[in-house]
A and B are shown apart, each in its own frame.
Chain A
């Protein structure tokens, strides 16, 4: 059981470039989440999904898109990267809402220059 994995671990982008971050879980979890973590600001929810084929906006969705075509994968896309999107991105999953504990991936450190 790998749990929650994220690809890539590190990435440097130039302003205006695009990329996709992949989150994968092998625990058959229904709910998946994307957070960003910035110094002094804790983790903030970007988008989340309550099941295959569904997505919803979180607290800071602007500049990001997501897709959940397969239950085990949740993709986070940056269409035109900006320096303000420099952050550490964490993915998390939960089996169902009343299971409570969210399982986090190892994170992706993204720098936009």
Chain B
């Protein structure tokens, strides 16, 4: 089955700096890579996703890059703000007409300090 590794497990940045979280996956057939943000005691919320036919996607301060050859993808947050502090999860999935199962990374706790 799919295996997703995520690094680092904790990340502390100063407000205004950039944060980068990296994930690798094992199944070359995976074609969907979402990123979730989870605040303490809350449900995971999708913040950005990318499909295997795209190399990069950006949404305001958040961007995701995908390298299919190396089987890794990364989340980039620019101009970090205190409200970006949360746990971030990457995931990988094979989405076909009959299958869709997410495999999650172990999470990165991001702390944005003033």
Question: Do A90 and B44 touch across chains, with their CB atoms under 8 A apart?
Answer: yes
Q: What does the 1/0 interface line of A33-45 toward B look like (CB < 8 Å)?
A: 1000000111111
Question: Do A41 and B101 touch across chains, with their CB atoms under 8 A apart?
Answer: no
Count of chain A residues near B, Cβ 8 A: 23
Chain A residues positioned under 8 Å from B101 (CB to CB) = 33, 45, 48, 58
Question: Do A94 and B43 touch across chains, with their CB atoms under 8 A apart?
Answer: no
Chain A residues positioned under 8 Å from B97 (CB to CB) = 97-98
A40, A44, A94, A101: the one within 8 Å of B104 (CB): A44
Q: A40-B9, A58-B101 are in contact. Are A101 and B95 (CB under 8 A)?
A: no
Chain B interface mostly? loop
B49, B89, B100, B103: the one within 8 Å of A31 (CB): B100
Query: How many B residues touch the partner, as a band?
Result: 20 to 34
Chain A residues positioned under 8 Å from B107 (CB to CB) = 40, 42
Chain B residues positioned under 8 Å from A98 (CB to CB) = 95-97, 100
Question: Do A101 and B99 touch across chains, with their CB atoms under 8 A apart?
Answer: no
Least CB distance, A97 to chain B, in whole angstroms: 4
**B46 interfacial contact with A, CB 8 Å:** yes
**B106 interfacial contact with A, CB 8 Å:** yes
Q: A43-B104, A44-B104, A48-B101 are in contact. Are A100 and B43 (CB under 8 A)?
A: no
**B102 interfacial contact with A, CB 8 Å:** yes
Considering only residues 35-76 of chain A, those with a C-beta below 8 Å from chain B are 40-45, 48, 50, 58-59
Chain B residues positioned under 8 Å from A58 (CB to CB) = 101
Question: Do A101 and B34 touch across chains, with their CB atoms under 8 A apart?
Answer: yes
Question: Do A40 and B106 touch across chains, with their CB atoms under 8 A apart?
Answer: yes
Q: A101-B34, A101-B49 are in contact. Are A42 and B105 (CB under 8 A)?
A: yes
Q: A42-B107, A59-B1 are in contact. Are A104 and B100 (CB under 8 A)?
A: no
**B98 interfacial contact with A, CB 8 Å:** yes
**A77 interfacial contact with B, CB 8 Å:** no
Q: Residues of B at under 8 Å CB distance from A?
A: 1, 6, 9, 32, 34, 42-46, 49, 51, 89, 93, 95-107
Q: Residues of A at under 8 Å CB distance from B?
A: 31, 33, 40-45, 48, 50, 58-59, 90, 94, 97-98, 100-102, 104-107
